[in-house]
Amino acid sequence: MSRSGAMDRIDALLSTVSDPSFVSVVRGEPLGVAATPVLAFWITSRDVNYMTLTDVTTNTEFLIRAFFRMQTSADVRESLELDVWDAMVNIAQALRGDADLAGNVTDSNVGSSSTGYTEMNGVSYRTVDIPFTVEIAGEVTITP
């Protein structure tokens, strides 16, 4: 199992989402978005799931966020809602298709999607947030 391998696999799986057609997948929370739609993912927390006398199993939570640039045209805004819904479904489907991230984690879970709005550099974006939890059994060895 490998943390870097898990990150690579998340990146690869998100890159397979073709509807909507994302222009890029970014590791880390972006400070700006040049073109949309774009996907980004970053770590939000890491917790101990359980411990034994010899090791620690952990859960690491990622936030996957899709950014869609807001438009003044009512027709474009209306079509954006279908893109938002497609993103929710297709991102979850891509991640669920490889629960152990090519053997880099023990298991993973896609959480409930939510939507919102954010502003960066004076530009408004419609967002889709999807929490994604990965479990690594025995990630840390306890040596007495």
**CATH code for the domain of 115:** 3.30.70.1700
pLDDT digit string (tens) for 59-116? Answer: 999 999 999 998 766 666 678 889 999 999 999 999 999 999 999 999 999 999 999 9
Please tell me the distance from the alpha carbon of residue 9 to that of residue 22, in angstroms, as a whole number.
17
- Rg value, the chain, Cα: 17
Domain residues for the domain of 94 are 3-141
Domain count of the fold of the chain: 1
Is residue 30 over pLDDT 80?
yes
Tell me whether residue 1 is exposed, middle or buried, using C-beta atoms within 10 angstroms of its C-beta: 0 to 12, 13 to 18, 19 or more: middle
pLDDT at 24: 95
